[in-house]
């Protein structure tokens, strides 16, 4: 099987590549290789049959040529700018990375399908629950038929890319599938994100900054569960369909902070009460969604997937990984993340 992966040096993409690397697969990863990319020397260590090329998918000519030359069986599109605060500060790059790049991928798909002896079977477009906007505490979870109502430039750019994918399926018959997933956590996530950010601050005795009152709720999924869902969708998913993926684990930011403080403190022999005194509540960000929750009935019934890890099991593995990472010789302390506030 030949996989063309975009954004495979990012958090979810690198975990996906790790899961499909084998003697029976050939992988070409296109990655812009930005601040959020992982070093392949570590994220792809001991993996086989992987090649990486570095350019931006907004370069349509290069994108089309690369995809036609490789002639993949499957395209999995992880490539995206995903940091909400960055999208508020600089939305233009999100338009380029999340909308223009998706358009170019779809056009590359069309160009390849016109070629004789093409292998391409389907493209999986990886998206987010944030396209649906915000839920109230009493609202039912998002379904695949929920209204698209993005709150941030990031969510708007992902919503736009999802709509492009749907339109290219309906107009051109491009065999595409969309997956919308809830908040991921696990190894190789950029330290700007909420969970590794808090772990880093606990280890270094720094202020732990939480937006607003900390009551915002997210549905959390361990990254290995998400990767497994994607692989199941590749095998069993119906083209033209959308599948919601979630961990069925709703926790507030306050609850996340408490769990991380208790568990990381215990792992390191630190005083949890002293660390809790480092909690600070900072001015909320504009348009901050209150709650996300995913109804995964469709993927459970149609695909047969459901999450394996509960939060306790997934977060224990995650904390252990980050303790080792932040103390490793391949953690780039000189270019440590500069942002003070929490991003999630």
From residue 14, how far is each of 29, 102, 190, 223, 263 by CA, in Å? Answer: 10, 19, 12, 10, 26
What is the per-residue pLDDT for 336? 61
From residue 18, how far is each of 9, 14, 81, 264 by CA, in Å? Answer: 11, 6, 21, 26
What is the per-residue pLDDT for 249? 97
> Residue 248, SS3?
coil
What is the per-residue pLDDT for 342? 44
Identify the CA nearest to 102 among candidates 171, 162, 154, 31.
162
Identify the CA nearest to 341 among candidates 171, 205, 240, 192.
192
Residue 323 exposed, middle or buried by CB count within 10 Å (0-12, 13-18, 19+): middle
What is the per-residue pLDDT for 277? 94
Give the tens place of pLDDT for each residue, 155-185.
999 999 999 999 999 999 999 999 999 999 9
Which H or E run contains 51?
strand 50-53
Name residue 235's beta-bridge partners: none
Instruction: Render each residue's pLDDT in the chain as its tens digit; 344 residues.
Output: 999 999 999 999 999 999 999 999 999 999 988 877 888 899 999 999 999 999 989 999 999 999 999 999 999 999 887 778 788 888 888 898 899 999 999 999 999 999 999 999 999 999 999 999 999 999 999 999 999 999 998 999 999 999 999 999 999 999 999 999 999 999 999 988 999 999 999 999 999 999 999 999 999 999 999 999 999 999 999 999 999 999 999 999 999 999 999 999 999 999 999 999 999 999 998 989 999 999 999 999 999 999 999 999 999 999 999 999 998 877 776 566 544 344 44
Instruction: Provide the annotated active-site residues.
Output: 129-130, 154
What is the per-residue pLDDT for 334? 59
DSSP alpha helices (H): ranges in 271-341? 272-276, 297-302, 311-326
What is the per-residue pLDDT for 276? 95
**Cα torsion angle, 15, 156, 74, 63, sign:** negative
What is the rounded CA–CA span in Å between residue 344 and residue 71?
A: 36
pTM for this model (two decimals): 0.94
What is the rounded CA–CA span in Å between residue 325 and residue 107?
A: 39
What is the per-residue pLDDT for 88? 83
Which H or E run contains 104?
helix 101-113
Domains and CATH numbers, the chain: 2-185+221-247+290-310 (3.40.50.720)
Name residue 251's beta-bridge partners: 218
Give the tens place of pLDDT for each residue, 277-328.
999 999 998 989 999 999 999 999 999 999 999 999 999 999 999 999 998 8
């Amino acid at each position: 099987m030949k996989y063309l992966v975009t954004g495979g040096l990012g958090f979810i993409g690198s975990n996906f590549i790790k899961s499909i690397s084998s003697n029976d697969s050939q992988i070409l990863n296109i990655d812009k290789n930005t601040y959020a990319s992982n070093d392949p020397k570590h994220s792809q260590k001991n993996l086989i049959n992987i090649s990486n090329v570095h350019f931006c998918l907004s370069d349509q000519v290069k994108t089309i040529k690369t995809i036609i030359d490789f002639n993949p069986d499957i395209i999995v599109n992880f490539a995206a700018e995903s940091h909400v605060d960055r999208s508020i500060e600089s939305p233009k790059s999100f338009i380029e990375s999340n909308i223009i790049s998706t358009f170019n991928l779809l056009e590359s798909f069309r160009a390849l399908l016109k070629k004789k002896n093409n292998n391409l079977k389907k493209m999986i477009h990886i998206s987010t629950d944030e396209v649906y906007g915000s839920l109230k505490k009493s609202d039912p979870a998002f379904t695949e038929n929920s209204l698209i109502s993005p709150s941030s430039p990031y969510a708007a750019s992902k919503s736009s890319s999802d709509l492009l994918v749907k339109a290219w399926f309906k107009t051109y018959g491009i065999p595409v599938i969309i997956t919308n997933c809830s908040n991921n956590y696990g190894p190789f996530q950029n330290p700007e994100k909420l969970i590794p950010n808090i772990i880093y601050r606990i280890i270094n005795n720094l202020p732990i900054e939480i937006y607003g009152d900390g009551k915002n709720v997210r549905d959390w999924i361990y990254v290995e569960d998400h990767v497994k869902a994607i692989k199941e969708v590749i095998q069993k998913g119906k083209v033209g369909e959308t599948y919601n993926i979630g961990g069925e684990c709703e926790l507030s930011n306050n609850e996340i902070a408490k769990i991380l403080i208790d568990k990381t403190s215990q792992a390191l022999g630190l005083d949890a009460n002293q660390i809790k005194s480092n909690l600070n509540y900072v001015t909320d960000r504009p348009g901050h969604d209150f709650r996300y929750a995913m109804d995964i009935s469709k993927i459970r019934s149609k695909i047969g997937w459901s999450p394996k890890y509960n939060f306790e099991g997934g977060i224990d593995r995650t904390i252990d990984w980050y303790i080792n990472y932040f103390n490793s010789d391949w953690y780039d302390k000189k270019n440590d993340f500069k942002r003070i506030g929490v991003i999630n």
